[in-house]
Structure 1
């Protein structure tokens, strides 16, 4: 999918292998622990880690074949986001975590998928 120098632009979103019509900007997080510094009265003591939920989030285009009910009740799915630079983000054991609200002006639905784990493949 990617040219050697391409870093952004065209993406592909798949839910259990089915292609969804991705719109605009997507964000993702691999769910690795978030590090925050711990400061004492004298100096920095180190850091603490807290878990994060891995996710893929963006907007899709609503179409006749898409069931909003099936989308918002999605569970135990595999979500893949193929990036323009050749990377693939895979979200495993995922569920739909958005509101399920559609927009009639451009036929878009905001979606957020969260899962138990995510990985980045180059």
Structure 2
């Protein structure tokens, strides 16, 4: 995708189940599968606690006239594909949306967050 090997950030594209959507900004992803928290006592650091974490892909979408925002709330078992400016492709498989989508009318934007099982978000 990237035709300029020096470009690292900027342009990005997103598609859900092969359907492209207007990405208004702030595409974020995390392939991380665990969350750690340091366990600190009054005397020293004792170690850490670890628990599972849902990998995710999220972004700010533009509410086009042909779009039905309510459809995002119903999305489950989706494949989310992101193409980044640095040439990387991020793929999320078997993902679902979390949180209800709310449109901000000043710029016709709404946030969507897809989450999945451990290992569902990969970088290629």
TM-score by length of 2: 0.85
Uncovered stretches (5+) of structure 2, i.e. residues with no partner: none
Q: Whole-Å Cα distance in 2 between the matches of residues 69 and 20 of structure 1?
A: 14
Structure 2 partner of 1:26: 27
**Is the aligned partner of 1:120 residue 2:118?**
no
Q: How many residues are aligned here?
A: 121
Uncovered stretches (5+) of structure 1, i.e. residues with no partner: none
Structure 2 partner of 1:57: 58
- Work out whether residues 15 and 79 of structure 1, in 8 Å CA contact, stay in contact via their aligned partners in 2: yes
Structure 2 partner of 1:15: 16
- Work out whether residues 36 and 47 of structure 1, in 8 Å CA contact, stay in contact via their aligned partners in 2: yes
TM-score by length of 1: 0.86
Shift of 1:48: 3.8
Q: Whole-Å Cα distance in 2 between the matches of residues 63 and 37 of structure 1?
A: 44
